[in-house]
Amino acid sequence: MNRAYRILPAGERALSVEFGDDIDPALNERVLALDELLRRKPISGVRETVVSYRSLLVVFESERLTARRLRWALNRRIAALGDEPRVAAAGAILDIPVCYGGAYGPDLSDVAAYCGMTPEEVVRRHAAPVYRVYMLGFMPGFPYLGGLDPSIEVPRLGTPREVIPAGSVGIGGKQTGVYPFDSPGGWRLIGRTPSKLYKLDGASVLARPGDAVRFIPIGEDEYRRLANGEGMA
């Protein structure tokens, strides 16, 4: 793999460390390793970092740290990662129950027709992989998941919905994800989970970058039971 990277300005108070241009687990692992290293060995003046698929945004306080000095410090941190960086703590494996189709997944039939298969087969293929949480974005707690079966990739809706119910599981191109809150959105909805991905106080985020996610198909009765808090931690 090409170990090259580049550091680019992102406004007046941030630099973006870019490790490549693809959705790739190895690139994302480098992003997470640098993020972890910056937490263990912080750079004075860095305010926060934001993980993406293949880059790390580093936001700094310009009153305390210049972009030139930060670039120098980042180069030293990246050199310390080595050729095969690994995140010290292994990500969690999260099982997320999903009720597919019907009122919970209004686009499932359309996705099946687009892919030339039955709705049941779409569900089987969607629930089969162990997905990687590459990043959180779009809204607090929204996990962008990689590992979708290419046979069920579908384009986003031509006209986004104004309101998508919290917990909706959707497909958008090569990605799948879960909407933590009611919100607008253009992904194809194939199911819904009763699990709460994010609490408004920010103290509880179900999925974090580097975690693994498995979708567990459940029936409507089980969905209602879990939604009522029965059997949930």
Q: What CATH number is associated with residue 26?
A: 3.30.1360.40
End position of a domain, from candidates 81, 113, 141: 81
Q: What is the pLDDT along the chain (233 residues), one digit of tens a residue?
A: 346 899 999 999 999 999 988 888 989 999 999 999 999 999 999 999 999 999 999 999 999 999 999 999 999 999 988 766 666 555 688 999 999 999 999 999 999 999 999 999 999 999 999 999 999 988 888 999 999 999 999 999 999 999 999 999 999 999 999 999 999 999 999 999 999 887 655 556 677 899 999 999 999 999 999 998 765 44
Helix (H) or strand (E) holding 48: strand 46-51
Please check whether residues 104 and 192 belong to one and the same domain.
yes
What is the residue range of 104's domain?
93-227
Please check whether residues 101 and 180 belong to one and the same domain.
yes
Please check whether residues 111 and 219 belong to one and the same domain.
yes
Instruction: Specify if 165 maps to a domain.
Output: yes
Please check whether residues 111 and 211 belong to one and the same domain.
yes
- Residue 4, Cβ neighbours under 10 Å: how many? 8
Please check whether residues 174 and 200 belong to one and the same domain.
yes
Which has the closest alpha carbon to 67: 43, 50, 33, 32?
Answer: 43
Please check whether residues 110 and 162 belong to one and the same domain.
yes
Please check whether residues 104 and 168 belong to one and the same domain.
yes
Provide the CATH number for the domain around residue 173.
2.40.100.10
End position of a domain, from candidates 47, 81, 115: 81
**Strand blocks (E) in the chain:** 6-9, 14-18, 46-51, 55-60, 93-100, 131-136, 143-146, 161-164, 168-172, 175-178, 183-185, 188-192, 212-217
Helix (H) or strand (E) holding 30: helix 25-40
Model's pTM, two decimal places?
Answer: 0.85
**Half-sphere exposure at residue 227, Cβ-oriented, CA atoms within 13 angstroms:** 15
Please check whether residues 103 and 168 belong to one and the same domain.
yes
pLDDT on residue 2 = 42
> Structurally, how many domains does the chain consist of?
2
Instruction: Specify if 1 maps to a domain.
Output: no
pLDDT on residue 232 = 47
Q: Which residues pair with 177 in a beta bridge?
A: 144, 170
pLDDT on residue 137 = 85
Phi, psi dihedral angles at 170 (to 5 degrees)? -130, 165
Please check whether residues 116 and 177 belong to one and the same domain.
yes
pLDDT on residue 196 = 86
Identify the sign of the CA torsion 176, 16, 87, 36: negative
Cα–Cα dist 156/159, whole Å: 8
pLDDT on residue 201 = 57
Please check whether residues 153 and 178 belong to one and the same domain.
yes
Please check whether residues 22 and 114 belong to one and the same domain.
no
Please check whether residues 136 and 217 belong to one and the same domain.
yes
Instruction: Specify if 233 maps to a domain.
Output: no
End position of a domain, from candidates 26, 46, 81: 81
Residue type, 118: T
Instruction: Specify if 116 maps to a domain.
Output: yes
Q: Report the Cα 186 to chain-centroid distance in Å.
A: 16
Instruction: Specify if 121 maps to a domain.
Output: yes
